[in-house]
Amino acid sequence: MQLEIKERALGEVVILDLIGKITIGEGSVQLRDAVSNLLDAGRNRIILNLGGVVYVDSSGIGELVSRYTTTKNAGGRLKLLNLPKKIKDLLMITKLLTVFEIYEEEEAAVNSFL
Amino acid sequence: MMLAENVVELTIASQLEYIDLVTTLTDNITSMVGFDDETAYWINMAVRESVANAVEHGNKYDPQKSVDIRFTIGVDALRVSIRDYGDGFDPQTLPDPLDPNNLLNPAGRGILYMRTFMDTVEYTSHPEGGMVVTMSKRRTPRPSTRDLGEGDHNHDAVGN
């Protein structure tokens, strides 16, 4: 499996711990499905913990953007936690660094929803 | 006999599952050539983006069409060409992913990444059909040229 996704809930906030690769094909689809399932269940305060992600391609970056937009359109927020440097580089190159809310501390990310 | 260039070629089916095979070969070649880890990582990504584009947008996953990848290890630069057998396109007509109106588009960033990480990226129509993307990355000088003239060793990388 390209991407392992572990789900944790802290109150109304859901943290998805992502481990592996978010690339074209399986990894991107897994992320899409995981966020869609949360939104379908009415859980729209979402943090993606990217600390365990070892590789993201343009499809994966596109998937992050899509999930951000989908969550926002569902009346919620999707925020990013623990960005590896290379993902930060990819977001910066495509001017997406300021689009996302990005946190380095889990507590700060969770509290930002309060 | 010393060769000016070594060539490694690989042909894959139009399936995403084969992209990792290409990037594994890419990693072997960039390591052999002597690129630093950071540069090798981004070359890997540029090749991944280009092959994914060839499979998805060029050949449209047609199982009858292949993607041909050719690595040319020159004295001064590594060149990688990726050919698909699709209908071709004009890269100038693609939306600018940095345009504020396009920032939230789910797709369209791959070529920008390729242009960012490689020194040159050129698109040409193959005379017999399909598109050829040719990318190059300058080699950093180093004292040894051991990898030159050992063409047979290049093929070992495929099985690693």
pLDDT in the model for residue A114: 86
Q: What stretch of H or E contains B75?
A: none
How would residue B157 be classed by pLDDT, with cut points 50, 70 and 90? very low
What does the pLDDT look like over A42-76, one tens digit per residue?
999 999 999 999 999 999 999 999 999 999 999 99
- pLDDT(B150) > 50: no
Q: What stretch of H or E contains A10?
A: strand A3-10
- pLDDT(B146) > 80: no
As a whole number of angstroms, the distance between CA B100 and CA B108 comes to: 13
Distance from CA of B45 to the nearest CA of A (A): 7
pLDDT in the model for residue B140: 77
Of chain A, the percentage scoring pLDDT greater than 90 comes to 94
- pLDDT(B132) > 50: yes
- Cβ-Cβ contacts under 8 Å, B19 against chain A: 23-24
Report long-range pairs for A28-34 (Cβ below 8 Å, ≥24 apart): A28/A59, A28/A60, A28/A62, A28/A63, A30/A1, A30/A2, A30/A3, A30/A5, A31/A3, A31/A5, A31/A60, A31/A63, A31/A64, A31/A67, A32/A63, A32/A66, A32/A67, A34/A5, A34/A7
CB distance from A2 to chain B under 8 Å?
Answer: no
User: CA B5, B9, B12 angle in degrees (round to 5)?
Assistant: 165
What does the pLDDT look like over B52-110, one tens digit per residue?
999 999 999 999 999 999 999 999 999 999 999 999 888 888 999 999 999 999 999 99
List the domain boundaries for chain A. 3-111
How would residue B116 be classed by pLDDT, with cut points 50, 70 and 90? very high
Among A35, A36, A57, which would you mutate to test the B interface (most chain B Cβ atoms within 10 Å of its Cβ)?
A57
pLDDT in the model for residue B5: 84
How much is the pTM? 0.89
What does the pLDDT look like over B9-45, one tens digit per residue?
999 999 999 999 999 999 999 999 999 999 999 999 9
Kindly calculate the radius of gyration of chain A based on its CA atoms and give it in whole angstroms: 13
Instruction: Supply B56's token pair.
Output: 């998805």
CB distance from B103 to chain A under 8 Å?
Answer: yes
CB contact under 8 A, B45 and A57: yes
- Cβ-Cβ contacts under 8 Å, B43 against chain A: none
Comparing A26-40, A80-94, B50-64, B140-154, the range with the smallest average pLDDT is: B140-154
As a whole number of angstroms, the distance between CA B111 and CA A65 comes to: 17
As a whole number of angstroms, the distance between CA A110 and CA A20 comes to: 23
ipTM field: 0.92
Tell which residue, A83, A110, A109, A111, has the closest CA to residue A97.
Answer: A83
- pLDDT(B1) > 70: no
List the domain boundaries for chain B. 5-147
CATH superfamily of this structure's domain B5-147:
Histidine kinase-like ATPase, C-terminal domain (3.30.565.10)
Side-chain half-sphere of A73: how many Cα atoms within 13 Å?
A: 10
Q: Where does A3-111 sit in CATH, by number?
A: 3.30.750.24
CB distance from A53 to chain B under 8 Å?
Answer: no
CB distance from B41 to chain A under 8 Å?
Answer: yes
> What is the overall mean pLDDT for chain B?
88
